[in-house]
Amino acid sequence: MSDTQQRVERRFHGVGVSPGIARGTVFVLRPEDEEAPSRRIEDWEVPGEVARFEAALLQTREQIVEMQNRIAGAIGAKDASIFDAHLLVVEDRTLIDEVLRTLDRDQYNIEYIFQQVANRYAKTLSEIDDPYLRERALDINDVCRRVVRNLMGKDPRSASQIDVPHILVAHNLTPSDTAQLNRKLVLGFATDVGSRTSHTAIMARSLNIPAVVALHNVSDSLLSGDHVLLDGYSGLLIVNPSDQTLWEYGELEVKKTEVEDKLEALRETVSTTLDGRHITLSANIELPSDIDLVKQSGAEGIGLYRTEFFYINKNELPNEEEQYENYLAVAKEIPDQSVIIRTLDLGGDKFMSALQLPSELNPFLGWRAIRFCLERVDVFKTQLRAILRASALGNIRMMFPMISGVDELRRANAVLEECRQELREKGIPFNEHMEVGAMIEVPSAALVADLLAKEVDFFSIGTNDLIQYTIAVDRINERIAHLYEPTHPAIIRLIKMIVNAAHAHNLWVGVCGEMAGEIALTPLLVGLGVDELSTGAALVPRVKRAVQSLDIGVCLQLVDEVKNMESAEAILEKCEAIAKAHYPELMV
Task: Please tell me whether residue 404 adopts helix, strand or coil conformation.
Answer: coil
β-strand 166-170 against 21-29: which pairing, if any?
parallel
Of 396, 512, 514, 517, whose CA–CA distance to 457 is shortest? 396
pLDDT given at position 318: 83
For residue 70, give Cα distances in angstroms to 74, 111, 447. 6, 28, 42
* Alpha helix stretches (DSSP H) within 334-455: 369-375, 377-390, 406-426, 443-447, 449-452
Q: How many CB atoms lie within 10 A of CB 7?
A: 10
- Cβ pair 393, 328 in contact under 8 A: yes
Burial of 371 (0-12, 13-18, 19+ CB in 10 A): middle
Q: Do residues 169 and 190 touch, judged by C-beta distance below 8 A?
A: yes
Model pLDDT, residue 5: 46
Q: How many CA atoms lie within 13 A of 435 on its CB side?
A: 19
- pLDDT score of 480: 65
| Mean pLDDT, each 10-residue run in order, the chain (588 residues) | 61 87 88 73 91 90 76 54 69 85 92 88 66 61 82 64 82 71 84 73 73 88 92 91 92 81 82 96 84 88 86 71 94 95 71 48 62 90 97 97 95 97 97 97 96 98 91 67 85 97 98 90 98 89 94 97 94 96 88
- For strand 280-285 and strand 301-306, is the pairing parallel, antiparallel, or unpaired? parallel
What pLDDT, on the 0 to 100 scale, is given for residue 296?
86
Q: Are the C-beta atoms of 180 and 168 separated by less than 8 Å?
A: no
Task: List the beta strands (DSSP E) in 132-185.
Answer: 166-170
DSSP 28: E
Reported for 513-517, long-range contacts at CB under 8 A and 24+ positions apart, including other chains, are 513/441, 513/461, 513/462, 513/463, 513/464, 513/465, 513/466, 513/467, 514/463, 514/464, 514/486, 515/463, 515/486, 516/463, 516/543, 517/542, 517/543
The pLDDT, as a whole number, for residue 579 is 96
Contact, 174 vs 138, CB < 8 A? yes
pLDDT of residue 126: 65
| 553, HSE (Cβ side, Cα atoms, 13 Å) | 2
Of the candidates 238, 159, 242, the one whose C-alpha atom is nearest the C-alpha of residue 204 is: 159
Q: Is 144 designated active site?
A: no
E-assigned strand segments in 171-242: 186-191, 211-213, 227-231, 236-239
Rounded distance between C-alpha atoms, residue 537 and residue 283, angstroms: 5
How far apart, in whole angstroms, are the C-alpha atoms of residue 423 and residue 413? Answer: 15
Structural domains of the chain in order of their starting residue, each with its CATH number = 3-32+158-242 (3.50.30.10), 43-152 (1.10.274.10), 273-539+561-586 (3.20.20.60)
Cβ-based neighbours of 45, under 8 Å, separated by 6 or more: 107
User: Whose CA is closest to 509, among 545, 457, 450, 571?
Assistant: 457
Tens-digit pLDDT profile for residues 500-513 = 999 999 999 999 98
Q: Which of 86, 199, 488, 582 is catalytic?
A: 199
Find all residues with CB under 8 Å of 378, minimum gap 6, and list them: none
Query: Catalytic site residue 199?
Result: yes
How do residues 425-442 score in pLDDT, each as one tens digit?
999 999 999 999 999 999
Alpha-carbon torsion, ordered 296, 299, 303, 306, to 10 deg: -10
Q: β-strand 186-191 against 166-170: which pairing, if any?
A: parallel
Residues 135, 147: Cα–Cα separation, whole Å:
19
Catalytically annotated residue among 144, 373, 419, 512 = 512
Of 504, 505, 499, 503, give the one whose Cα is nearest residue 466: 499
pLDDT of residue 153: 78
CA angle 460, 280, 265 (to 5 degrees): 135
